[in-house]
Amino acid sequence: MSADAPPPSRAHTGSAGSRESAAPRTLAERLPLPEGTLPVALGLLISGICTFAFFRVGKVALGDEEAFKPVTALWFATFALAPGFFLPLEQELGRALAARRALDHGARPVVRRVLTLGAVLATVVIVGLLAAAPWLRNEYFQGNWVMVVALIVAIVAYAPTHLSRGICAGAGRFRAYGIVLGADGLMRIVLCVALAVLSVEAVGAYGMGVAIAPLFGVAYVAWRGQLRTETGPPATWTEVTPNLGWLLLGSVMAALLVNAGPLALALLAKDDQDALVTRFGYGVILARIPLFLFQAVQAALLPRLARLATRGEMSEFRRGFARLMVVVGGVGTIGTIGAYLFGPFAVDLLYDAELSKRTLTILALGSACYMIALATAQAVIALKGHALVALGWTIGVVAFVIATAAASDDAFRRVEVGLLVGSAAAMASFAIALRSRLRRGAIADAGSVYEAITDLPLEG
């Protein structure tokens, strides 16, 4: 009811008709959620559920955990490399588009610039993979060349996927953003089930399913015209690359840290321990449930906060960020307690496998520390501390390597401890960096705010 509208008469006070007319009429109005939360959260929910299903169906289709190990190794390598290298382009594209949207400027020149950067970066990554191909084949993929090819195809597929997401987020097209997210996971399980129904037992076929899955969602939103942009003022390189170097280093290190456990275990496990790698992957996927929830809020909140900062409404931004931190702490706590109480039961129910309560609890605690580290890193980036964030994630990776090497002779224990120590080290580093930036009176701007809220190198 508006401020100058007359109050309801006593005859209508409390009536059903009055209550109905005063009530919000849409779901978005009834729920106090940030812009875009519902479609993005739905996309992430679909992707998360399909991820759990993919690991289950793939294991059954290939016969056992040992046979599924190359697919598990491909999965975590893909989601270490793709977000690590291409998330910064998504961030910079979304930031630039959100800024132009606030000014009512066309975004096509910006998109063209970032597409060029994406092609160059993808080429660099592919050349690196080709150079490392013999080692990847022999040491990481059990002598399977097809999995090396699948990893290269995945890089080719995820480059346009991240750029498409940047366009959707920056343009405020959250339904399309959610479709790209959800279709990735949905098509993985569709392809996996199709292969299983056809009794395909070639592990490379399942690897290719992982690699090409994201292209279906991108093709669909492109076909619907939701990646179109309008012509506008010319874009300079400085408009799209002011912090790309530091963002790239930080993103690569952050993605490496969150996927470091399965990657390290794939290298540390003995020839007769391939099943351990798959089982450990189950635990990591379950421990990431809170991170998926966190990403849903992040991806939906970022454009609104970027526009608030662009308009100078920093008090509203601070309140939104404070609410986000409350969510982070609550979700991390619930996830850790849930892993301790129900983790082994969940692994047995979903995957017919065994993992100890210790392993699952440490993984969940490590994920909680990683989530807090992310939120704190975002605050540092918002205060223009991009170099400090890159340093912090690098410290986390170094701490993981040292802890993994020194922790134990048991492969599981080494990696568990390494993940927890690495995430805690990054978290502590960002806390120190944030305190330093605040003491120096650093001030956020629209660009740094957008880069901060989109800094989440988690996929799969």
Distance CA 410, CA 420 (A): 16
CB neighbour list of residue 63: distance below 8 Å, 6 or more residues apart = 201
pLDDT of residue 26: 43
| Residue ranges of domains in the chain | 33-453
Q: Please, are residues 33 and 296 in contact by the beta-carbon 8 Å criterion?
A: no
Q: Are 162 and 89 in contact (CB under 8 A)?
A: yes
Distance CA 421, CA 398 (A): 10
* pLDDT recorded at residue 281: 87
Model confidence, pTM: 0.82
pLDDT tens, position by position, 335-371: 999 999 998 998 888 888 888 899 999 999 999 999 8
pLDDT computed for residue 303 by the predictor:
52
What does the pLDDT read at residue 120? 95
Report residue 152 as tokens. Answer: 């290269």
pLDDT for 319 equals 74
Separation of alpha carbons 130 and 287, rounded Å: 32
pLDDT the model gives residue 348: 87
Residue range 188-204, pLDDT digits in tens: 999 999 999 998 988 99
Sites in the chain below the pLDDT cut of 50: 1-34
pLDDT 10s digits, 376-395: 888 888 788 899 999 999 99
> Side chain identity at 273, as an amino acid letter?
Q
Token code pair at residue 250: 């930080």
Express each pLDDT in 306-322 by its tens digit.
Answer: 556 556 666 776 676 67
Q: Would you state the pLDDT for residue 275?
A: 77
pLDDT at 28: 38
- What is the per-residue pLDDT for 313? 67
What pLDDT was estimated at residue 25?
42
d(CA 294, CA 269) in angstroms, rounded, equals: 31
CA-CA distance, 46 to 51, in Å (whole number)? 8
Sequence-distant (≥ 6) Cβ neighbours of residue 96 within 8 angstroms: 107, 110, 114, 170, 235, 239, 240
